[in-house]
Structure 1
Amino acid sequence: MFPVATPDPKRLPRTSLSTIGVEHIRIDSIKSYADTRATLERLPHFDDRIRTLLQHGDIDKVRSALQEIQGDAGLVIFSVATHGDWLQIISSKRNVVQYVIGNVLVSTQMTQHELAAALYAPLRIVVYENESGAATIEYDRPSALFGQFGNKRVTSVARDLDQKIHDVLIRAAT
């Protein structure tokens, strides 16, 4: 067992707490869960080979690959977490999935000015089958999340992201 020492108060990490307002958006689709999800998954998926280019210092190739992959919507899916599968541990499987969606070129525009912006980039979106059998999409408005940093350059980029993500999700829902 490790000896327990009394911590020196001068050596404790400094912590702070702030409260932020989050604008939460819910979109009730007119389509089924399966159709909404299929439409959303037409977004390009991130290609990890781009990371290899980055590791080799091929920055121009990285930028080119990122611009190419993002497609018309300017967004890519980084990961998909099928939360509904895990519900069978305690009840029964449900149709609910979380997407991590974003754009590396957009997120770096924010994180270069505010490293803590990486907490919210890329964005998380949840899609689930609601009581009527259609899909519901929920997410937090990017400009509200990123606006907490009080950096006009970050908030400006986030406002553009507001529209980009909203447009993609409305298309998926209709």
Structure 2
Amino acid sequence: MADAPHSTRAVPVEHVTIRSTKPFEDVRAKLASLAPRIDDGISTLLRYGEGAHNAPICVLLREDDDGGVAFEYDRPASVFDQFGSDNVDAEAQQLDRDLQALLEAAAV
């Protein structure tokens, strides 16, 4: 079997943590009630195709041993920037703003 040509490169990604003082279940429930607001941005990124393998965006809602609650995710604009597409970049930047607003609203 022949090896297909390939390349590898490092891509800088910005990681975000949004902390909450609320209990985990309260934050989870609030996120569930607000989550439909973000779906359009992900759908648009999938339509452009270049970044389809990076969508949907993964967000971790975690609770540590001390009861601290936080969201963790990689900024969409930093993830999708590697494709060099103005259309994808514009949508990813809007998705950054929407995602941050959504998670901050759920955290407070």
Q: TM-score range by the shorter chain?
A: 0.7 to 0.9
Q: Which has the higher contact order (CA 8 A, sep 6+)?
A: 2
**Distance in 2, Cα, partners of 1:169 & 1:17:** 32
Q: 1:147 aligns with which of 81, 86, 98?
A: 81
Instruction: Report the Cα offset of residue 130 of structure 1.
Output: 2.0
Match of 1:106 in 2: 41
More strand by share: 1
Q: Is the 8 A contact 2:62 2:71 kept in 1?
A: yes
Give 1:129 deviation, angstroms. Answer: 0.9
Q: How many residues align?
A: 108
What is the match of residue 118 of structure 1?
Answer: 52
Q: TM-score, normalised by structure 1?
A: 0.57
Identical-residue share of aligned pairs (%) = 31
8 Å CA contact 1:107–1:118 kept in 2: the answer is no
| Paired position in structure 1 for 2:16 | 25
Shift of 1:109: 3.1
Counting helix residues as a fraction of each chain, which structure ranks higher?
Answer: 2
Indicate the RMSD between aligned Cα atoms, in angstroms: 1.7
Alignment of 1:25-64 (within 5 A): 25-43=16-34
- Provide the TM-score with structure 2 as the length reference: 0.87
Work out whether residues 111 and 118 of structure 1, in 8 Å CA contact, stay in contact via their aligned partners in 2: yes
Q: Which residue identity does 1:27 align to in structure 2?
A: I
Q: Give CA-to-partner distance per residue, 1:91-146, whole Å, 9 cap, x none.
A: xxxxxxxxxxxx2x433433444x24012211100011123313111000000000
